[in-house]
Each structure stands twice: as structure tokens, then as C-alpha cells.
């Protein structure tokens, strides 16, 4: 934070010089220098520098530029940096920002504008996660403007994301519910649901799966970076039962490049959510909070309960950070925690028993 400080008998100032590039290429570098003999004189110098910065002196631009113009330049640049699906998502998020930030001068934007936007969106029923995505895009646009020397600084740089405490609980399907859904699914959808449930693949990855990506001999699926969310290629192992199911499907689908096709031979990517809802109702499984992504969350949670290493699970799911795997996908309940405590107690008792049989004194570690 900009301010004054004393060193010996001299007074100095701290301020951000936006004509320089700071750490990690971010606009602005913090400067500390001695300027005066008294505190009042130092504060006057600091005020003058900040005033000149606002007026575009010291080689620094001001914030007198329309947000729309910066956003247009950012989107042109962003389209070249990300996958088409990510760019389409950004366009949707930007449209949600228009009612507050369109035809606005950047110099008129403040943290209150961001807060009012989030408050209005929440009142409309938007989730906190979506609000945070819109806020992140807003900050990215203004950061782009500062990096490109279109504006002096990002006035919303200090805007904080909303806490996710009110996020809806993600639905975790029990193994019995998954079996019921698969058993009651119609033949075109049964192998699709089975793949989602047994691999944890994303809906977009599964619906766009090509036979060239499936290695039935070695029992694995290979996805290139262009087919994954984080742009990294990955291999997904197949269980023997799933491999046989895909082999059976291959024998009936020799003409198409796509694994899952409609009756017309085209890629199956529409109405799959509706099919899942209908199948769940026939199977007597609650549809409350049920999504295709529920298979992915359920796969991760059941794998963790089975003792799968988090790092291994991260690689299977294709997360860039293991923290994402643990925070959003692995859901443990009280029964899981109780089982962990019981297993720990059994381990301690077993050590005590072995020590007594061997005529050894129990260690402090085993006793606890």
C-alpha cells in the first residue's frame, strides 16, 4: 500500500510505478525512496506523484478509456490462447457483465461496481461459482488493458472472489444407484453411462470419443491435449468389463469414427442429460441434483474410499492440480471418518498384540 515511512532523520515514500513491470510480468512495480526531512513534506510529494500518475505524467497512461474497447481487444487476443469451448464460455460470461460495465469509462469503475454486480447476479439465482468466473474475467480484461498500456492500472485488482460456502452440495451416487441406472438404460445409452461411471471422464470427452483414441488391446483410452480441459494429454485405464463392453460396441459400430453415435450415425452429444433423467426415474433413483457430471464426482469419491492414491486419481481425472481433485471431487461423510478412526485403532491394537507376543515392551508410539 502506498504511504510514507521514516528512516533515521529522513522520510521516504512507497508507491507503485506503473511505468515499470513488476513480478511475474504484472504491471506496476513498488518503489521506495527517501524524499524529505519531515512527514508532512513526504506526504505532499506522495500526493503529487499520485496526482501526476492519474494525469498520465511520468510516462504513464490514465484510465480514460472505454471498457468495451479493452474487452474487444482482450477477446481477440484470448481467442488465440484458449480452446474454442473455453472461448465460447468467456463470451457468455462477458455478456453477463454488459449491464454494469458496458459504455463505462475505466476511470469510473470501482470495487463497489464489482460488488453490486455479484449481488445482483446472486439475487437472480446465479451460483457463486459463476459470479466468481465473471469477476475473474473482468479482472483479466482490465489486467490485459494495463499490460497493453491502454490504461494505467486495473481499478479492480483488489476484488476478492466470493466464498463458496453456499454452493449446492454435489450429488454423489452410491454404487447401487449407479448399477440401477446402467441396468435400466436403453441400449444406445448403457455403454455411455457405463464409460462415465467407470472412468470418471467428462461428458464432452466421452461424447466426442473416437475409436482411434481407444486401444482395446492394451485396455486404455488416449486423449490428446486438444480433447482435454486443461490442454494436457492423458491415458485412462479401462477395466476388463468395460473393455469387453466397448469391444461388443465396436462389433456393432464399424462404420463410424465416433464411439457413441445416434441412429443416423452422427456423434451423440445432444439430449444425453434428458436420457439420464428418464433412466434414473425408471430405475427409481432420485433425480435431485443428478447431472452427467455426477458420475465423475462419484467415481472420484468411491476411488478415494477404496484407498486410491490422490495423485493417481488426479492423473486419471486429468486435473492440473491435485487440490482440485480433493476439494471438488472427493466427498467424505461421517461413516468414512469413523472407518478411518477404527482402522487406526485396529492398527495400534495389532502392534500392541504383536509386541506382547514377542515379549517386547510396547513403544510409546503404539500406546499413543
**Domain interval for residue 235:** 175-329
Q: What is the pTM of this model?
A: 0.56
Q: Do 74 and 131 fall into the same domain?
A: yes
Q: Do 191 and 110 fall into the same domain?
A: no
Q: Do 188 and 295 fall into the same domain?
A: yes
Query: Is 180 part of a structural domain of the chain?
Result: yes
Query: Is 356 part of a structural domain of the chain?
Result: no
Per-residue tens of pLDDT for the chain, all 368 residues: 788 999 999 999 988 876 566 676 666 778 888 888 999 998 988 887 777 666 555 455 677 788 988 898 899 899 988 888 889 999 999 999 988 888 888 889 999 999 999 999 999 988 888 999 999 999 999 999 888 877 888 999 888 888 865 445 678 899 999 999 999 999 879 999 999 999 999 999 999 999 999 999 999 999 998 888 888 899 999 999 999 999 999 988 878 899 998 877 777 777 899 999 999 999 999 998 899 999 999 999 999 888 888 899 999 999 888 888 887 667 766 666 667 667 667 766 666 666 566 655 555 544 44
Can you give the CATH number for the domain in which 106 is found?
1.10.150
Query: Is 158 part of a structural domain of the chain?
Result: no
Strands 10-21 and 27-36: antiparallel
Q: Do 33 and 133 fall into the same domain?
A: no
Query: Is 45 part of a structural domain of the chain?
Result: yes
Q: Do 47 and 92 fall into the same domain?
A: no
Q: Which of 245, 242, 200 is nearest to 223 (CA)?
A: 200
Q: Do 179 and 315 fall into the same domain?
A: yes
Q: Which of 198, 182, 170 is nearest to 283 (CA)?
A: 182
Query: Is 8 part of a structural domain of the chain?
Result: yes
Count: domains in the chain: 3
In Å, how far are 42, 164, 223 from 202, measured between CA atoms?
A: 58, 22, 12
Q: Do 48 and 77 fall into the same domain?
A: no
Can you give the CATH number for the domain in which 263 is found?
1.10.443.10
What distance in Å separates the CA atoms of residue 72 and residue 87, rounded to the nearest whole number? 13
Query: Is 337 part of a structural domain of the chain?
Result: no
Q: Do 236 and 99 fall into the same domain?
A: no
Amino acid at each position: 500500500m502506498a504511504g510514507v515511512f521514516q528512516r533515521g532523520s529522513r522520510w521516504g515514500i512507497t508507491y507503485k510505478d506503473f511505468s515499470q513491470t513488476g513480478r511475474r510480468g504484472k504491471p506496476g512495480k513498488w518503489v521506495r525512496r527517501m524524499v524529505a526531512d519531515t512527514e508532512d513534506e513526504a506526504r505532499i510529494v506522495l500526493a503529487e506523484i499520485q496526482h501526476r500518475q492519474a494525469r498520465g505524467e511520468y510516462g504513464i497512461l490514465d484510465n480514460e478509456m472505454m471498457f468495451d474497447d479493452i474487452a474487444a481487444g482482450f477477446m481477440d487476443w484470448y481467442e488465440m490462447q484458449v480452446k474454442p469451448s473455453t472461448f465460447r464460455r468467456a463470451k457468455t460470461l462477458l455478456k453477463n457483465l454488459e449491464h454494469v460495465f458496458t459504455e463505462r469509462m475505466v476511470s469510473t469503475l470501482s470495487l463497489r461496481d464489482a460488488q453490486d454486480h455479484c449481488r445482483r447476479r446472486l439475487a437472480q439465482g446465479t451460483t457463486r461459482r459463476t459470479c466468481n468466473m465473471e469477476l475473474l474475467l473482468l479482472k483479466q480484461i482490465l489486467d490485459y488493458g494495463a499490460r497493453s498500456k491502454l490504461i494505467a492500472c486495473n481499478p479492480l485488482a483488489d476484488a476478492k472472489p466470493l466464498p463458496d460456502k453456499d454452493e449446492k452440495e454435489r450429488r454423489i451416487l452410491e454404487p447401487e444407484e449407479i448399477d440401477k441406472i446402467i441396468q435400466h438404460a436403453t441400449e444406445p445409452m448403457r455403454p455411455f453411462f457405463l464409460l462415465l461411471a467407470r472412468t470418471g471422464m467428462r461428458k464432452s470427452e466421452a461424447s466426442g470419443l473416437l475409436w482411434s483414441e481407444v486401444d482395446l488391446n492394451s485396455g486404455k483410452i488416449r486423449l490428446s491435449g486438444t480433447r482435454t480441459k486443461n490442454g494436457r494429454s492423458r491415458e485412462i485405464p479401462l477395466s476388463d468389463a468395460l473393455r469387453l463392453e466397448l469391444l461388443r460396441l465396436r462389433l456393432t459400430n464399424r462404420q463410424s469414427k465416433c464411439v457413441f453415435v445416434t441412429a443416423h450415425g452422427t456423434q451423440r452429444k445432444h439430449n444425453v442429460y434428458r436420457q439420464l433423467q428418464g433412466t434414473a426415474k425408471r430405475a427409481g433413483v432420485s433425480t435431485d441434483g443428478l447431472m452427467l457430471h455426477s458420475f465423475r464426482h462419484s467415481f472420484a469419491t468411491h476411488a478415494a474410499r477404496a484407498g486410491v492414491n490422490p495423485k493417481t486419481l488426479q492423473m486419471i481425472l486429468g486435473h492440473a492440480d491435485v487440490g482440485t481433485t480433493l476439494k471438488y471431487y472427493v466427498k467424505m461423510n461421517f461413516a468414512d471418518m469413523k472407518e478411518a478412526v477404527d482402522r487406526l485403532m485396529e492398527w495400534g491394537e495389532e502392534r500392541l498384540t504383536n509386541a506382547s507376543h514377542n515379549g517386547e515392551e510396547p513403544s510409546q508410539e503404539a500406546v499413543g
